Amino acid sequence: MNNSNICSVFSGGAIVTEEELTEFFISMKDKGIKAVASNCERGFPLTALSAADKAGLDIIAVMPYEGQPDSWNEELRKKYYRLHLKATTRFMISTYRSKDCYILADELLLSMCSTAVIAGSSPNIQKAAEEMGKETINIHTTDNVRVKV
């Protein structure tokens, strides 16, 4: 797999359902995307991996640190580990939690993708992706339209 067929996902505050994301990733699959990479954090990043799996895409797990889901509820931990078992590729940035492990995870996610998918707004990711020549897709939500690209 090469960078031209991987999209990485980043959280920016938008709330998107797994069903909506599954439809979105099916459309990305039709455009040649073969895998979705995520930092596996609760919320959008983990939901995006699950949706990508349902859409028939490979998933790439970039874990910022060992023990990432240890403080999560049981349901989220099961989802996390189920997706890790299904991941075609896994990376672990650090054996302990630090501010830098998230920054390094985001840098790895950006370096491996052709497209950065941002749920909402994340100016730092947007700027970094543009500087690296990556396509960016921002998913926004409104009262009238749940998902708008």
What does the H/E/C string look like for 3-43?
A: HHHEEEEEEEECCCCHHHHHHHHHHHHHCCCCEEEECCCCC
What pLDDT is attached to residue 140? 76
What pLDDT is attached to residue 3? 67
- Taking the C-alpha atoms of residue 67 and residue 23, their distance in angstroms, rounded to an integer, is 31
What pLDDT is attached to residue 33? 96
Show the tokens assigned to 32. 């040649």
Q: Where are the domains of the chain?
A: 3-139
What pLDDT is attached to residue 146? 46
What pLDDT is attached to residue 4? 79
β partners of residue 8 = 37, 116
Per-residue pLDDT of the chain (149 residues; tens, 9 = 90+): 566 799 999 988 888 889 999 999 999 999 999 999 999 999 999 999 999 999 999 999 999 999 999 999 999 999 999 999 999 999 999 999 998 999 999 999 999 999 999 998 889 999 999 999 999 999 876 544 445 44
Fold of 3-139: Rossmann fold (3.40.50)
Q: Is the pTM higher than 0.85?
A: yes
